[in-house]
Amino acid sequence: MPNALIFGVTGQDGAYLARLLLEKGYVVSGAHRRGRETQTAGLCELGIADALQLLSVDYHNENEMTSLIESVAPDEIYNLAAQSSVAQSFQIPVETSLINGVFVARLLEIVRQKAPQARFFQASSSEIFGAVDNSLLCESTPLRPRNPYGTSKAYAHHLVRNYREAFGLHASCGILFTHESPLRGPQFVSRKVTLAVARIKNGLQDELVLGNTDVSRAWGFAGEYVEAMWRMLQQTHATDFVIATEQVRTLRTWVALAFETVGLEAEKYLRTDAQLLRPNDSFVMRPDSSKAQQMLGWKAQLKAEELVKMMVEADMRRVVESRCEIQ
C-alpha cells in the first residue's frame, strides 16, 4: 500500500485529503504542530480520526523533522501546513514567514537528503499573484504579492521550483484559489458569513458585519481540490498547476446566497465597517485552470450556490445542536 504523510492534517484541506487517500487504500500519517492543542474536529466530522496515525512534531526542530521523515518513509508528502489567514499575516508577519516559508525550506532540504524518491506537494496560493489587472491568472503569471501571507507563499513557491530543477525532486505546487467547505475555520470570511446566517436565523445574532463586500473570488469546494493535489503527484513529471473553479463571485453575492438559503434578505442584516478593510486587498482574482483540466483531467464541479447551501446547512445543524446541549 502506498504511504502518505500530510503536514497540516487537522486543517480543512488536510482532513479532506486524508479521507481521499484512505479511500484509495493509502496508509496515511498526519503531522501537526506540537505546542498547540490538537484540533481533530474536522477529522472526526469526516469519520476518519481513528483511521490514520497522528504525529506531533516541532516544525522548527530539524532533528525532529528528520526523524519523522525517516520513520514514516513516505512515498508521497503533502505540505498543507500554514498560517493561512491573510488578515492575520499583517498582525504576525514573522510567524507567518517562518511557517509558510522557512518551514518549507527546512522540509525540502530534509526530503532532498533523506527521502529524494518521495513525491512532494506544496500548497501554494492565489495570493502569490497579488496586484493584478483583469487578466486571467495562470502558472506563468508574474508574482506580485501584496501581503505578508502572499509573500511567504511566493517564497515557498520559488523554493519548490528550485529544488525540482536543481535536485530533480518530484516536487509540485498547487496554486490554490479560494476554496471552502463546512470544515472551514470561523475566522475566514466565507464561514463567518454562513455561521452568522445560521445564528441570525436562530435568534442568536442580530447582524453580520463585514469589510469590503465588493471583492471577488473564485469560490470552490475543498473536497474537490484535494483530488487535484493527488492527481498532481501521479504525474510522471512534476510541475505546477492552478487549481480553481472559474466561477467568480463577489463577497456580496456570497452573502446574498447564504441568507437566501434560510429565507432571509441580506440587506436587512448586513452592515459594513471600514475598520475591517484589509490593507492592499486584491479585488478581482480570475483564474485560468486549463492546464489542470488538460493534463490532470480535473475540473471543479460544485457551483458556488451549492457550496454556500452546504455550508449554511452544516452551520444550522451545529447551532441547533449547541442550543440543545446548552438547554
The catalytically annotated residue of 149, 155, 163, 269 is 149
The catalytically annotated residue of 89, 125, 172, 181 is 125
Nearest to 86 by CA among 129, 37, 132: 129
- 138 sits in the region (left: phi over 0; alpha: psi -120 to 50; else beta) called beta
CA atoms within 13 Å, Cβ hemisphere of 296: 27
The catalytically annotated residue of 76, 127, 180, 224 is 127
Q: Is 40 exposed, middle or buried (0-12, 13-18, 19+ CB in 10 A)?
A: middle
Q: Tell me the CA distances in angstroms from 276 to 41, 54, 89, one per residue in order.
A: 28, 36, 14
CA distance 185 to 178: 13
Q: Are 227 and 176 in contact (CB under 8 A)?
A: no
Parallel, antiparallel, or unpaired: how do β-strands 76-79 and 179-180 relate? unpaired
| 149 part of the active site | yes
| 282 part of the active site | no
| 125 part of the active site | yes
DSSP 136-195: PB-TTSPPB--SHHHHHHHHHHHHHHHHHHHH--EEEEEEE--EE-TTS-TTSHHHHHHH
Q: At which residue does the C-alpha cell 508528502 appear?
A: 77
Catalytic residue ranges: 125, 127, 149
